[in-house]
Amino acid sequence: MRRVGVRCSIALPDEPRANMRKEEGKERRLWLAVAALALTFSVTARAETDTGSAHNLIFKLPLGEGPWYLSSRNLLTSREGFDDFFFGYLDLNLGRELGEDSGWAAEIGYRHAWLEDAGVGGDWRDEYRPSAILSYQTKLGDWSFANRHRIEYRTFEGGSGANDRFRYRNETRLIAPWEFTSLRARPFVEEEFFYELTDDGFNYNWFTTGMRWQVSEGVVAKLGYRWQAYTFGDGWNHRHQLVTGLLFFF
């Protein structure tokens, strides 16, 4: 008896094919982001170490039913443990969603920063940072992905001796779909690098990982660890930080 083989092919409609290509593109971007993280780690692998903490308070408030909103990202950070607070900032930004469900948004705003002088006396130095932000967020399968570009024009208090400068910052965030404990906490990872456009080049990097969970409607908490690397003199230094955060979405 001779066997007869029958070959069958199924043609997918155009829409499922397009969706498959879209998902494949998202997966490629995810792996590119992971590769960029690995490259950043290799650059900042050597440093002297310190410990500290970073505490974040973030707000987002819609302005009516339209695409406009206000946002505020605020930080207080310590070094040499948890009680030597030496740096912080407050900011306010006006933002606009760019297209319905596009994931893109743009903001302009102002950030005021304070840095404790490392010299004798511990005076505080003011820094003024008008800025522009372009951000994007989407879903990569079950993962949440976000990327933010920020350009800052940094000017300093008179008499500080520091020159005005432009700085570019890029932050990438991935939030996993898995949930843990009764809090339904989800793991996250964030990577932000700093590039001085006026001088110095790549001189700061923050890698953060931890857990985030919804406290109540519109309120999210996060707790994690940050590996902060920065240039000082001829080499890189490290600071290992406890990170806390509260995010309010009105």
Q: Do 241 and 77 form a contact (C-beta atoms < 8 A)?
A: yes
Quick: pLDDT tens for 139-161. Answer: 999 999 999 999 999 999 876 67
Residue 23 has pLDDT above 90, yes or no: no
List of domains in the chain: 14-249 (2.40.160)
Q: Do 60 and 249 form a contact (C-beta atoms < 8 A)?
A: yes
Type of residue found at 45: A
Residue 15 has pLDDT above 70, yes or no: no
For the chain, the average pLDDT equals 85
Distance CA 209, CA 114 (A): 26
The secondary structure element, H or E, covering residue 61 is: strand 51-62
Quick: pLDDT tens for 28-64. Answer: 555 555 555 444 444 444 446 789 999 999 999 999 9
pTM score above 0.75 = yes
Residue 162 has pLDDT above 70, yes or no: yes
Phi, psi of 47 (to 5 degrees): -175, 160
Would you report the helix, strand and coil content of the chain in percent, each value rounded to 5?
Answer: 10, 60, 25
- In 3D space, the residue among 218, 235, 206, 231 whose CA is nearest the CA of residue 77 turns out to be 206
